[in-house]
Amino acid sequence: MYAYHYKFLNSAYLYTLKLRLKKDVRLVREYKICDWCLKRLINEPSNEALAEAESFRSACSLCHSIPFRGELVDEALGACSPYSFRTYNVSVKMCASVLKIEDEIITKYKLKDYVTLKKGLRDHFKRALAKVLDQRLQEVRSELNIVFDFTDKFRVKIYERGYQIRLNYIKILPDAKVNAGLCPVCNGKGCNVCKYTGIANDGSLESFFIYVLPSMLNSKVNMGSQGHRRIHRVRKWIASLPPFQVDI
């Protein structure tokens, strides 16, 4: 009887303690999150919670202080400065382990109407870049994609949109070389010299597509996993053409 009485009092006492500590203060203390994160997770947090959260600005368990580091924006500006573009888009990549902690918080504290870490950071960088870039932000089919990658060591990655070029030409000299020979260094296997195409730079039309045209356009040949297949398609297509000559 006494044991039961004691247990009851004890849990009632704990309950009132829990009530006294506001939900947002509990969240800040338990997960050590900064005020930037608190504001995106909870609508209108209390001043008390915000004041505590400010002390975690330099070591927030969620955003790892990314929104407070102005040099990241400078790095992105530096990375996209060699490119000429009219439109750009911004994306953010985060570690799965951090996103897992955020999911845990959302479920545990039954949060609603929150902004996720990824969206919050993306909006943050979008705003910061819009202040300095003259180019237009465009979500779909933008010419440049600026990726803030926090999955490993921080890196800004720049992706350009690919272009398709169609050429019309007439072969005047009947003996003009059309297909390229094999790369003399790797014998067609693919190496650094031939940019993994296996194709020699021998003045043929085919080598023009791989070596000359990209440098004229100040771009590079994209040799992704499908690269060789693409080259073979170009090769087959060139072989099917009537004789022609290209004047460059």
Residues that bind Zn ion (CB under 5 A): 34, 37, 60, 62-63, 183, 185-186, 191, 193-194
Nearer to Zn ion, 94 or 194 (CB): 194
CA distance 219 to 230: 17
Nearer to Zn ion, 67 or 143 (CB): 67
Which residue bears the tokens 């900064």?
34
Amino acid identity of residue 147, one-letter, is V
Q: Count of CB atoms within 10 A of residue 52's CB? A: 20
CA distance 76 to 87: 15
Nearer to Zn ion, 33 or 80 (CB): 33
Closest approach, Cβ 31 to Zn ion, in A, equals 10
Q: How many helices (H) and strands (E) does the chain have?
A: 10, 4
Closest approach, Cβ 200 to Zn ion, in A, equals 8
DSSP letters spanning 187-227: TTS--TTTTTS-B--SSSHHHIIIIIHHHHTT-----STTH
List % helix, strand, coil for the chain (3-state, nearest 5).
45, 10, 45
Closest approach, Cβ 185 to Zn ion, in A, equals 4
Closest approach, Cβ 148 to Zn ion, in A, equals 15
Closest approach, Cβ 187 to Zn ion, in A, equals 8
Nearer to Zn ion, 116 or 135 (CB): 116
Nearer to Zn ion, 60 or 146 (CB): 60
